[in-house]
Amino acid sequence: MTIVRLGYVAMSMKLKNASPSQTMTFAAFQKIKDREAAIRKLERIALANLENTHRLLKHNAANEIHFYRLTSRLIPLANHGELADWNYIKPLKEKLAAIGDFALKHGIRIDFHPDHFVVINSPDKDVLKNSLKTLKMHYLLLKGMKIDPAHRCVLHVGGNYKETEKSLERFVDNWMDVPRGIQKMILLENDDTSFTMQDTLYLCEKLGIPLVFDYHHHLAHHRNAEWEEEWERIAATWKDSPLPIKMHISSPKSQTEFRHHSDFVDAEMFFDFLNAIKGTVPEIHCMIEAKQKDAALFALMDEIKKRSDAEIIDGSSFYLK
């Protein structure tokens, strides 16, 4: 039987006053005349974000949730050009270590999904340089948590620039400029407008990168096109990973707004996918990308408890029968 574990993204709809994404604009930073005082304020915001992240992990452990996506906005202005001399990791070391210890102790898989401006296949060298700087920040955060960075950071292929083949090959070319440690951290996800599952699979097989299959994106890009025939190839991209295969699950907001994420997950749509892959992998982790975050996870588990083709393990996990 295949084990399925559910996770959610960044924010809790149940835990109050626990935002891990509090921020500060550079304009606000500049208004503080004492630069050191301004940096200390940034550090206080970052520490508050990490404290709330720790609270969220405690919430997850209490509710038997073993999979969680950290926000990429933990440290405001971390990559701003005017703050290149700021060693933002140093004041956060203790809290990062505590978060990592808690996650490891409670068996919580954590990862990141940087924002859309991280573009490895960009023809603009400055964009690539800034993307690598952002990826290095994610790498340092994971290292600070004493978590192996391998396969913890999901990216889209990037911009299509109306030239799919050239854009894919530019990814390959630019990949050579990505430091090895960061290369090992990266996962690639198919998107809903530019790069199909097959496009992404081409890069993953060529460069040895695990593919995170987004079922909703695939349906939005192709609607009813087949995907099952490629599933063995997708699973094979994970053969050297220390982590179980993961995928993204969401549901369309409506038929007219098919690409937009719904508040909750359509259980029937989800099980269409699960029943197609049942038995092909021993375990799969499914990241819920729904507007209602952990509330969507709890609602989905309530529906799954009523199904005859699933056997509940705990608050976020079940066997496929």
- Structural domain containing residue 227: 2-320
Q: Which residue has the tokens 């940034």?
A: 42
Show the tokens assigned to 214. Answer: 């987004």
Residue 263 CA to residue 174 CA, distance in Å, equals 37
Q: Which residues pair with 68 in a beta bridge?
A: 8, 110
Q: How far apart are the first and last CA of the chain?
A: 6
Q: pLDDT tens, position by position, for the chain (321 residues)? A: 899 999 999 999 999 999 999 999 999 999 999 999 999 999 999 999 999 999 999 999 999 999 999 999 999 999 999 999 999 999 999 999 999 999 999 999 999 999 999 999 999 999 999 999 999 999 999 999 999 999 999 999 999 988 999 999 999 999 999 999 999 999 999 999 899 999 999 999 999 999 999 999 888 876 556 799 999 999 999 999 999 999 999 999 888 777 778 999 999 999 999 999 999 999 999 999 999 999 999 999 999 999 999 999 999 999 999
**What are the φ/ψ torsions at residue 7 (nearest 5 degrees)?**
-135, 175
Q: Convert the pLDDT of each residue in 224-276 to its tens digit.
A: 567 999 999 999 999 999 999 999 999 998 887 777 789 999 999 999 999 99
Q: How many domains does the chain have?
A: 1
What is residue 222's predicted lDDT score, i.e. its pLDDT?
67
CATH number for the domain spanning 184: value is 3.20.20.150
pTM recorded for the entire structure: 0.96
Provide the 10 A C-beta neighbour count for residue 311: 13
Rounded Cα distance between 199 and 194, Å, is 9
Cβ atoms of residues 185 and 135 within 8 Å: yes
Residue 252 is given by DSSP the state B
The residues that bridge with 112 in the sheet, in sequence order, are 153
**CB-based contact 146:101 (threshold 8 Å):** yes
**In the block, which residue shows the tokens 């990168």?**
209
* Model pLDDT for residues 58-83, shown as the tens digit of each residue: 999 999 999 999 999 999 999 999 99
Tell me how far apart the alpha carbons of residues 142 and 321 are, in angstroms, rounded to a whole number.
35
